[in-house]
Amino acid sequence: MKSTSTKAAKIAQPRTINEDQFIEEFNPLANPNGDSNGYFIDGKCVMLSTAGADLELVKKADPACVWTMFDEESDCDNESDDCNDEPSGIVISNGFSWVNAIGYIITEKPAPTNQFVMVVEG
């Protein structure tokens, strides 16, 4: 009987970057359907909505170039030192997700396939 072994893909540590690093490293693309979604980077609307023509563009894009936007609310009272690392506001992560998504971004450059990247404001 032939033995098969599967090696798990090596997963890098999760990485948190700010919006400037995100722009420089991945180059978010402007929404070709217009600017009605309201998330702008360098004067261009980069957010695609979760329905309609925008969602169709997301589905057709290279999955490694799709990022999901979330509205992250912190449970912290902002007076505790334990809250310094808690994200709040818009959080962007690589990959496509339906759950709690408020929109999507397509980038020119793909995200690493073996690493979770989270973009936080600041």
More confident residue, 38 or 75: 38
What is the rounded average pLDDT for all residues in the chain? 84
The answer to whether 38 and 90 are in contact (CB under 8 A) is no
Residues 103, 39: Cα–Cα separation, whole Å: 9
Structure-token pair, residue 41 = 């980077």
Q: Convert the pLDDT of each residue in 71-87 to its tens digit.
A: 876 555 555 555 555 44
pTM above 0.85, yes or no: no
Phi-psi region of 93 (alpha: psi -120 to 50; beta: other; left: phi over 0): beta
